[in-house]
Amino acid sequence: MEKENVTIYDVAREAGVSMATVSRVVNGNSNVKQATKDKVLAVIDRLDYRPNAVARGLASKKTTTVGVIIPDVTDMFFSELARGVDDVASMYHYNIILANSDDSGTKELQVLENLLAKQVDGIVYMGNGLREQLRNQFSHSNVPIVLAGGVDEVNQIPTVNIDYTAATKDAVTKLIKNGHTQIAFIPGNMQQAINQKYRLRGYQEALEEAGIAFDETMVFDAQYTYNAGFELANELYATTATAAFVGADELAAGILNGLTDRGVNVPEDFEIITAINTKLTQITRPQLSSISIPMYDMGAVAMRMLTKLMDKENIENGHLSLPYGIISRQTTR
Amino acid sequence: MEKENVTIYDVAREAGVSMATVSRVVNGNSNVKQATKDKVLAVIDRLDYRPNAVARGLASKKTTTVGVIIPDVTDMFFSELARGVDDVASMYHYNIILANSDDSGTKELQVLENLLAKQVDGIVYMGNGLREQLRNQFSHSNVPIVLAGGVDEVNQIPTVNIDYTAATKDAVTKLIKNGHTQIAFIPGNMQQAINQKYRLRGYQEALEEAGIAFDETMVFDAQYTYNAGFELANELYATTATAAFVGADELAAGILNGLTDRGVNVPEDFEIITAINTKLTQITRPQLSSISIPMYDMGAVAMRMLTKLMDKENIENGHLSLPYGIISRQTTR
DNA sequence: AATAAAAATGTAAACGCTTGCAAGAGGGTT
DNA sequence: AACCCTCTTGCAAGCGTTTACATTTTTATT
């Protein structure tokens, strides 16, 4: 049971070669005579040798590990992104250190510190925006980083997301085309740039194009939870709104169920369109119409971009907007 | 911008002490004169020194990193566990390397190999069962490991979960009390020990206690997906079953919606109880009655247990069953 | 067969830290 | 003044690899 750690040195001795040679075959590196390679490989197998990645990391200054800062793995949107990240990470032989930040500034900073201490080769940052302080830390370090799913207001950091403004505009326009003029805008947390700037702009553009005046009372701030939505339904009920753009599925589900419970018929009396397209959209009754976002792909592409950055390859375009769609289900006519 | 890596050596020089002393203050270690400590701390601050965790790992043989093998982060059950794990991990200053296994034997093995190469201090394994081969690898290495949420058929590895047999029995008994005798058993993948042994036994015990004969045609095998459930609804419709025990929420949601779409009234004509208690249970209409499992806590407790194991503390009981409950919502009367 | 070029292998110095051991610095005791 | 502790600090040997650079072996050329 006591697997006394076998080192590269043991292998070298047993195989009658130097550790440099063993290192070479382990790394599939340069030119080693086939015969030697076979001999070494045999010993590695016999001794059950497993290269110590930590030592490797020290010597080569590469850890083949990337950090992933995520608000909450429990959030369907982010976990889907994370899955995309991990899949391509492992495809390129990287592991990911996953760290939840709760979207909190101080936690993010702390987590970043940690990740850098662990010498990660790169970082994919997920979040709804990029705080000033964090951006500073990023630029101070020379670890490549890419932002997945979020927005960087100053377009300074490589990013992959969708065009939130356009998507929102499309969704709202769809509602307008269905005859609505009183459309509630409920993107979630209005503090976040993604809502406060991008989505709001899309909403406003759609209204403007249709010649509808922007009415501030149609803008609602909310937490990204089912319960927040459920409660908001009451508030909504008291307004003249006849449709709503909602920034997240759980929130939308809450609103939908809340409204339904109050006897409102969706979509006859009230239409809803949500901004994400998680499994939830199929589960609610009626099913939620939504913007379809390629979450998994966003994560995958972000990670792929990161591998390039880590290899110091040139990135043609550091700001990718993936295509999105609009899926009509049952909460819109 | 070129933060030429400042090392412990730089700090030592600047502070006029030896690196050993710097190391001591960094590790809050042993006894260092307060004056010296202050001096060193000041330099650390000025130079913005950040200890290299990789070097530390090599020297100390501790990486303060634990591996987490998870079937799929995207699964609500597992991501909730993962969150619990990460929270207490970071509480104890550990980071987690998260690796998706897709519940595949070969992938698990590969992932494990990786984790061991990275010299993780411990592993928390999530999965529905523990494959022979993996168990072997585990016992070959001397890295502590704990199983979260799953079952170890031979009770060989520290585990934290709930009593799946008892929970299933309780749930089924509830259905029986409501007058049902034809109860479908749809735990999910019947290959998995957790279903094939534990849950099935609970189901059978409940029937037996009520004097109902076990009917094999009431046992259904299914994938853990919404669609599988939706389709299974048709099949179910054709049987004499009047109630069902379902092993997962998504699956249950599919069954519920499928049945409803066929005009079946739940719970009047058909009752459903699901085995997990994710957010979904509140979102479906009618809301799903379910067994409530402390997912987050299972993860948290498992990680806590792992910290003890890593510290070579004695574990009083390596097989923890956390309490569960039964929540009646609207799919049962 | 001699020689140059190419291929294979070895040597040893990092990489940045921890840690056992030794030694210096102050006291207090007798 | 000699001796013994206890508290601090420094020395230096690792930890297990990678990787320039040097050296040896092989192959090709004439």
Q: Which residues of A79-98 are buried (b: 16+ CB within 10 A; e: fewer)?
A: bbbbbbbbebbbeeebbbbb
Partners of residue A283 in chain B, C-beta under 8 Å: 226, 250, 253, 257, 280, 283-284
Helices and strands in chain A, H and E counts: 14, 12
Taking residues A174-197, what's their average pLDDT? 95
Query: What's the pLDDT tens digit per position in B223-248?
Result: 999 999 999 999 999 999 999 999 99
In this complex, the answer to whether residue B60 has its CB under 7 A from any atom of chain C, a nucleic strand, is yes
Question: Are residues B65 and A118, on separate chains, in Cβ contact within 8 Å?
Answer: yes
CATH entry, A3-51, from 1.20.120.1460, 1.10.260.40, 3.30.70.330, 1.10.10.10? 1.10.260.40
B3 touches chain A (CB under 8 A): yes
* Rounded CA separation B270/B332 (Å): 8
DSSP reduced 3-state for A322? coil
| Yes or no: domain B63-162+295-324 corresponds to CATH 1.10.3720.10 | no
Q: Which two tokens stand for residue A299?
A: 């994560």
Selecting from A83, A280, A285 the residue whose C-beta is nearest the C-beta of B257 gives A285
CATH number for the domain formed by residue range(s) B164-292: 3.40.50.2300
- Chain B: closest CA distance from residue A256 (Å): 10
Spatial strand order in the sheet of B122-126:
A319-321, A159-161, A145-148, A122-126, A65-70, A95-100, B95-100, B65-70, B122-126, B145-148, B159-162, B319-322
> Hey, which residues 91-150 in chain B have their CB within 8 Å of chain A?
95-100, 113-119, 139-142
- Chain B: closest CA distance from residue A139 (Å): 8
pLDDT at B1 over 90: no
Taking residues A235-242, what's their average pLDDT? 95
* Rounded CA separation A61/A332 (Å): 54
Which pLDDT band holds residue A106 (cuts at 50, 70, 90)? very high
CA dihedral A223, A227, A229, A235 (to 10 degrees): -100
What is the pairing mode between strands B289-292 and A219-221? unpaired
> How many Cβ atoms are within 10 Å of B300's Cβ, its own excluded?
22
In this structure, which long-range contacts are made by residues B46-49, counting pairs with CB atoms below 8 Å and at least 24 apart in sequence? B46/B14, B47/B6, B47/B10, B47/B11, B47/B14, B48/B3, B48/B6, B49/B6, B49/B7, B49/B8, B49/B10, B49/B11
- State the pLDDT at residue B106: 93
**If we measure between CA atoms, which residue out of A153, A119, A121, A161 comes closest to residue A134?**
A153
Q: Which two tokens stand for residue B298?
A: 């299972």
Instruction: Report the percent of chain A where pLDDT is more than 70.
Output: 98
For CATH 3.40.50.2300, the residue range(s) in chain A are 63-162+295-324, 164-292
Query: What's the pLDDT tens digit per position in A11-69?
Result: 999 999 999 999 999 998 767 889 999 999 999 999 999 999 999 999 999 999 999 99
> Do you know the residue count of chain B?
333
Question: Are residues B79 and A83, on separate chains, in Cβ contact within 8 Å?
Answer: no
A110: which DSSP letter? H
* Rounded CA separation A193/B14 (Å): 43
Q: Which two tokens stand for residue B206?
A: 């409940």
Name residues whose C-beta falls within 8 Å of residue A117's C-beta, 6 or more positions apart in sequence.
B50, B51, B52, B53
* Rounded CA separation B15/B36 (Å): 9
Residue pair B98/A96 in contact (Cβ under 8 Å)? The answer is yes
Residue pair A94/B98 in contact (Cβ under 8 Å)? The answer is no
Amino acid identity, position A204: Q
What is the pairing mode between strands B289-292 and B271-274? parallel
Whether a cis peptide bond, with omega within 30° of 0, leads into A286 is: yes
A260 touches chain B (CB under 8 A): yes
Per-residue CA distances from B283 to A134, A272, A288, B244 (Å): 36, 16, 12, 19
Nucleotide at minimal C1' distance from the B37 CA: D8
Partners of residue B253 in chain A, C-beta under 8 Å: 283
In this complex, the answer to whether residue B142 has its CB under 7 A from any atom of chain C, a nucleic strand, is no
Best A52, A74, A260 member to test B by mutation, with max B CBs in 10 Å, is A74
In this complex, the answer to whether residue A60 has its CB under 7 A from any atom of chain D, a nucleic strand, is yes
* Rounded CA separation A146/A300 (Å): 12
Tokens 């379910």 sit at which residue?
B290
Best B62, B118, B120, B262 member to test A by mutation, with max A CBs in 10 Å, is B118
Å separating the CA of residue B71 from the C1' of nucleotide D9: 51
Per-residue CA distances from B43 to A140, B10, B53, B114, B195 (Å): 19, 9, 19, 38, 59
In degrees, rounded to 5, the angle at the alpha carbon of residue A54 between the alpha carbons of residues A138 and A69 is: 30
- State the pLDDT at residue A99: 98
More confident residue, A238 or B28: A238
B62 touches chain A (CB under 8 A): no
* Rounded CA separation A68/A300 (Å): 13
Half-sphere exposure of A227 (CA within 13 A, CB side): 1
- State the pLDDT at residue B177: 96
pLDDT at A3 over 60: no
Question: Are residues A54 and B82, on separate chains, in Cβ contact within 8 Å?
Answer: no
Taking residues B190-212, what's their average pLDDT? 95
In this complex, the answer to whether residue B30 has its CB under 7 A from any atom of chain D, a nucleic strand, is yes
Name residues whose C-beta falls within 8 Å of residue B301's C-beta, 6 or more positions apart in sequence.
B84, B160, B320, B322
Question: Are residues A99 and B100, on separate chains, in Cβ contact within 8 Å?
Answer: no
Residue pair B76/B278 in contact (Cβ under 8 Å)? The answer is yes
Which pLDDT band holds residue A2 (cuts at 50, 70, 90)? very low
Q: Which two tokens stand for residue A5?
A: 């750690």
Best B95, B123, B265, B280 member to test A by mutation, with max A CBs in 10 Å, is B95
Spatial strand order in the sheet of B183-188:
B219-221, B183-188, B243-246, B271-274, B289-292, B325-327
Nucleotide at minimal C1' distance from the A8 CA: D16
Element (H, E) at B87: helix B76-91
Per-residue CA distances from A195 to A66, A70, A124, A148 (Å): 28, 18, 21, 16
In this complex, the answer to whether residue A17 has its CB under 7 A from any atom of chain C, a nucleic strand, is yes
Helix boundaries (H) for chain A? 8-15, 19-26, 34-47, 53-60, 76-91, 105-117, 132-140, 164-177, 193, 200-210, 226-237, 249-261, 280-283, 295-310
pTM above the 0.75 mark? yes
In degrees, rounded to 5, the angle at the alpha carbon of residue A206 between the alpha carbons of residues A205 and A210 is: 110
* Rounded CA separation A13/A263 (Å): 80
In degrees, rounded to 5, the angle at the alpha carbon of residue A101 between the alpha carbons of residues A98 and A103 is: 135
Å separating the CA of residue A41 from the C1' of nucleotide D28: 30
In this complex, the answer to whether residue B53 has its CB under 7 A from any atom of chain D, a nucleic strand, is no
- State the pLDDT at residue A221: 96
Name residues whose C-beta falls within 8 Å of residue A27's C-beta, 6 or more positions apart in sequence.
none
pLDDT at B2 over 50: no
- State the pLDDT at residue B3: 53
**If we measure between CA atoms, which residue out of A148, A110, A100, A141 comes closest to residue A126?**
A148
Query: What's the pLDDT tens digit per position in A256-290?
Result: 999 999 999 999 999 999 999 999 999 999 999 99
Instruction: Report the percent of chain B where pLDDT is more than 90.
Output: 87
For CATH 1.10.260.40, the residue range(s) in chain B are 3-51
> How many Cβ atoms are within 10 Å of B152's Cβ, its own excluded?
18
B213 touches chain A (CB under 8 A): no
N- to C-terminal Cα separation, chain B: 66
Selecting from B65, B95, B100 the residue whose C-beta is nearest the C-beta of A86 gives B100
DSSP reduced 3-state for B99? strand
Which pLDDT band holds residue B202 (cuts at 50, 70, 90)? very high
Query: What's the pLDDT tens digit per position in B30-44?
Result: 678 888 999 999 999
* Rounded CA separation B131/B195 (Å): 15
**If we measure between CA atoms, which residue out of B146, B139, B11 comes closest to residue B66?**
B146
